[in-house]
Amino acid sequence: MTPEPRRVDQFILHVAVAANTIGLGVIIALLADLQDAYDLPTAGLGLVAGVAFITAFIGYIWFSRYADRGHAKTMLIVGSLTGALALVMAAYARGLWTLVLARAGLGFAEGAFVPAARRVVLDWSPDRPGEVLGRIMAASVAGFALGPVIGAVLADSFGLRVPFLVPAALLLMAVPVVARLRAPEPVPIREERCLFSLLGNRLVLAGVALGFVEFATFGSFDAIWARLLTDLGASTVFIGVSFTVMALPLVLLASRFGRLVDRRSPILVAGLGMIAVAPAIFAYGWLAVPVALGAAGIAHAVGSAALAPAAASLVAQGSPPDMVARGQGLLEAVGFLAAAAAALPTGWAYETMGRGPWFTMLSGLCLVAFAVAWCLMRVQEDAVSGRQERSHLGSS
């Protein structure tokens, strides 16, 4: 275990995490403007939003193992450089496929950066997984929350190119910063195992089930939010600000819920989150006033602030020592696959069946996923209790 770092090192890592996600928020907030500027089909919005989830899935599956093998710092640097290059490409895009390629690059950057950052903080504080992972998530969401505001304000003043170049510059500035961090030592590998073998652990499977539904709801949200609010008469600035306001609960509450996860039960905290998430997703399908939709978004964010650290903590607890980063990579990979599966058809669903049936279906999926996670946790608790009882009887 790496010694507890200086506060400045912890601060630097979290700022770098935020810088890495600003670009994602910029491109999502400007989707409707990019569609109007480059005459993109509405169905193509789902492709632009969803392709990053697919490439992030590939990145998480492929890169996360290297964070366990002592290459976390290299992954942080490569993720920052890849994200900067993708944003420059988006700035000079002139059509759908260039935007798709740029968004794909942002997904690869995410797949390299996030598991490395999580591996670093878990190595710094292994006895507080919920809290430290919640803090990393808060930093990530803070960057994403700043992205739409930066994008909306800069696009309004300087056009559609500058909003992408500014976060690209921030990512380049982050490279020498993360290069000085103390990274964890490689963990000896007991045996080479498939990443998906982790799903044989009930704790990991429960966390993945919660992560699946959390990402699926945000994937669908990302793909259509700007188009929906534009159709309801909202301005670009309102759309950008709405992203930020709705992200604030995640920024402010994720680490607090993480501490509650460490003190109580992950499934209890996840249940509290689901009480907010499922009704909010349902409301997306039926509310017709932008401000009311924003209020539903805030409830969605509060619920996700509880779900995210609960899911990550479950996966961290269920992963063996030599697969900690791979466990977090698996969680994010499955989540991004879920986000892609939800984002890709959302534009089509919006145009054909309407948003009401689509978001009603997603709301039901939330409840099913929580029920699966709860059952897995109960089975795990019963198994542990049974082992303890047998051990007690044997010692007697």
**DSSP result, 262-301:** HHS-HHHHHHHHHHHHHHHHHHHTT---HHHHHHHHHHHH
Which tens digits make up the pLDDT trace of 286-310? 988 888 988 888 899 899 888 888 8
Closest C-alpha to 66, from 53, 78, 54: 78
Q: Determine the pLDDT at residue 388.
A: 47
Is residue 55 in a domain?
yes
Q: Determine the pLDDT at residue 41.
A: 77
Is residue 2 in a domain?
no
**Domain region containing 349:** 7-182+198-387
Q: Determine the pLDDT at residue 85.
A: 93
Number of domains in the chain: 1
Is residue 347 in a domain?
yes
Which residues does the chain have with pLDDT short of 50? 1-2, 388-389, 392-393
Is residue 322 in a domain?
yes
Is residue 189 in a domain?
no
Task: Give the chain's mean pLDDT.
Answer: 80
Q: Determine the pLDDT at residue 382.
A: 57
CA–CA distance, 142 with 152 (Å, rounded to integer): 16
Is residue 392 in a domain?
no
CATH of the domain at 156: 1.20.1250.20
Is residue 93 in a domain?
yes
CB 126 within 8 A of CB 320: no
